[in-house]
Amino acid sequence: MTDINELKSWIAQSEEDFTAAKTLFRHRKPLLSGACFHAQQSAEKYLKALLIFKDKDFPKTHDLPALNTMRNKAGIITGLDLQQLVDLTEYAVRRRYPGNQPTQVEAKDAIQTAETVRRFARSFLGLKK
């Protein structure tokens, strides 16, 4: 049985990350690495919330394609773009180090991918968009 409080906690954290991503991107001097990191975190937490909703365990991972596969196996089919999830996964760790900073276009794309995941998850869970 789904632990509703755990589910709500994951959703709240995801929303906080999504807000942080947008805020950092809109900053006078955009903070692109932070925006991309929080976009990835938002998508990750929404994918995990969907698994929690289906009472499915998941490992501690930042791998969005792996979480997406688990979600598909749990019977939640979204049609999310796999390459976008691969690209967004990079912002969890690897792209956070100096010398590999995202561009403004990449940050915008990261936020849009997170928004796509967010919209689907919120609709599936019966939440306001």
In a domain, 92, yes or no: yes
- Whether residue 2 is predicted with pLDDT greater than 80 in this model: the reply is no
Q: Assess if residue 100 is contained within a domain.
A: yes
Q: What is the mean pLDDT of the chain?
A: 93
**Any idea what the CATH number is for the domain that residue 67 is in?**
1.20.120.330
State the total domains in the chain.
1
Identify the DSSP state of 27.
S
Is 32 part of a structural domain of the chain?
A: yes
The pLDDT score that the predictor gives to residue 1 is 64
Residue 24, in any domain of the structure: yes
Average the pLDDT over 96-103 and give the result. 83
In a domain, 83, yes or no: yes
Other beta carbons less than 10 A from residue 54's beta carbon: 14
Please check the confidence at residue 94 and state whether its pLDDT lies above 90: no
* 15 part of a folded domain: yes
Residue 56: how many CB atoms within 10 A of its CB? 15
Range of the domain at 83: 4-124
Which region holds residue 125: left if phi is over 0, alpha if psi is between -120 and 50, else beta? alpha
Q: Does the residue 36 lie in any domain?
A: yes
For residue range 47-62, list pLDDT tens digits in order. Answer: 999 999 999 999 999 9
Q: What proportion of the chain, given as a percentage, has pLDDT over 90? A: 85
Residue 129 belongs to a domain? no
Residue 91 banded pLDDT, cuts 50, 70, 90: very high
